[in-house]
Every structure is written in structure tokens, then in C-alpha cells.
Chains A and B, each alone.
Chain A
């Protein structure tokens, strides 16, 4: 158990819908990262937050957004969902910005 929690574990929804994925980092970790894992793209970095502020952005679609709240938990919002958004979404956390990252169990999103 890494100490990073993600909810829900599974999510099934329809195209065009909007979903919110939630992540609670390890106690004391200030940085939160979101990654997407799909069969065709592999593991891709989406976005990083550090102590509530956006720090780095990867290939995150404009339909996707994230935020980190004062209690340091983070949410990833995916809207206007398409079939291709079906993937495993991981959250990771680290103490600062330059550290090993600890991964949560992931949320498996299926878009039908």
C-alpha cells in the first residue's frame, strides 16, 4: 500500500459525459501528479500540482482539467468523454517536486 488513495476504482460512463476522479496523496506529500495509461499510448504524464498550484503540464487534452485543494487532495475532471478516453488513470504523489513518486491503485475509466 503506497498510501495514495484514488476513488472510484472503476467508472463506466457514456460518450459525452463528464466524470471526476479523486486522489488523496500520502500524508505530508505536497506534489500530486496525474498519469493516463492506455494500450496505445502507454503511461503518459498529464499534469502536476504542487501545494495547490499547477506546476507542469503534459499532453493533457483541453477537455480535461485538474485542481488541488487546500487539504492537498486532487481531482481530475474529464468532460465530453470519447471512447478513446477509456484508460487507467493514476495519481501519484511526492514530498516535494523532485522526489520519487508513489502511485495510487488507479481508476479504470470505461467510456461506452
Chain B
């Protein structure tokens, strides 16, 4: 069965500092991987996705993620965090083998201190 682990429930970084949010997945076949962001009271916005090809993917708002099959990881990174990045971030895995439903991690709440 699919599963996603986001080991950090909360992360606090200073504005301008770099960010890395961790995501590990368990999946029986080639995964489709996603990062979504949710601001308070809002829906989920897709930041980036990985289906195949280049393992380093670029997303919106200056985010990138790297797929590492050997580590079953899909960590999200940003070189310089802005106060507006404070939100909750969700990693998700999906794919054809499981009817394309998304399985989400528990989320990581990012706090940005000025």
C-alpha cells in the first residue's frame, strides 16, 4: 500500500534562510509525487509534481524538489524563504496502480520568523 511520511510536524526558519521539507514514500511501482501548500482557511495549491524524467523538478514560488528513488524521498527545497511562505505543506503520492487517488502525508507546518 501507498504511504507518505513527513517526519517534521513543525519547522521554523528565519526569513531569507534556506528550507528543506522532508518526504519519504512507500509505493509498489513508479510513483507520481506531488507537493501541495495550504494556507490557513484555504484549499490546496499544487507547488510541483514529478511523473518521470529529470529528478530535479521546479515548481511555483521558487520551490524545487528532488526525487531520489534509492532513498524513496521527494524533499522540497527553497533557497530563500519569504514570510509569505508560512503555511502547511503536504507531500502526496499517487499513480495508476492505485486508481490515481492521492495519499497524503500528515503535513509540515512552516513558520517563518523575521
**Which residues does A use to contact B, with CB under 8 Å?**
2, 4, 31, 33, 35, 42-45, 48, 55-56, 58, 90, 92, 94, 97-106
Contacts of A90 in B (CB 8 A): 43-44
Contacts of B95 in A (CB 8 A): 98
**Which residues does B use to contact A, with CB under 8 Å?**
32, 34, 36, 42-46, 49, 90, 92, 94-96, 98-107
* A-B contacts, 10 listed (Cβ < 8 Å): A31-B100, A33-B102, A42-B104, A42-B107, A44-B104, A48-B100, A100-B34, A100-B49, A103-B44, A105-B43
Q: Which residue of B has the minimal Cβ distance to A97? A: B100
For the complex, would chain A's binding face be called helix, strand, loop or mixed by DSSP majority? strand
Task: Give which listed residue, A33, A35, A102, contacts B46 with CB less than 8 A.
Answer: A102
**Does A98 contact B101, Cβ atoms closer than 8 Å?**
no
Q: Which residue of A has the minimal Cβ distance to B34? A: A100
Task: Give which listed residue, A31, A43, A105, contacts B42 with CB less than 8 A.
Answer: A105
Task: Give which listed residue, B32, B46, B90, B100, contacts A43 with CB less than 8 A.
Answer: B90
**Does B34 contact A103, Cβ atoms closer than 8 Å?**
no
**Does B102 contact A101, Cβ atoms closer than 8 Å?**
yes
Contacts of B44 in A (CB 8 A): 90, 92, 103
> Would A45 and B101 be within 8 Å (CB), given that A90-B43, A90-B44, A106-B43 are in contact?
yes
Closest 5 CB pairs of A and B: A56-B99, A43-B104, A103-B44, A45-B101, A105-B43
**Does A2 contact B99, Cβ atoms closer than 8 Å?**
no
Task: Give which listed residue, A48, A102, A105, contacts B101 with CB less than 8 A.
Answer: A48
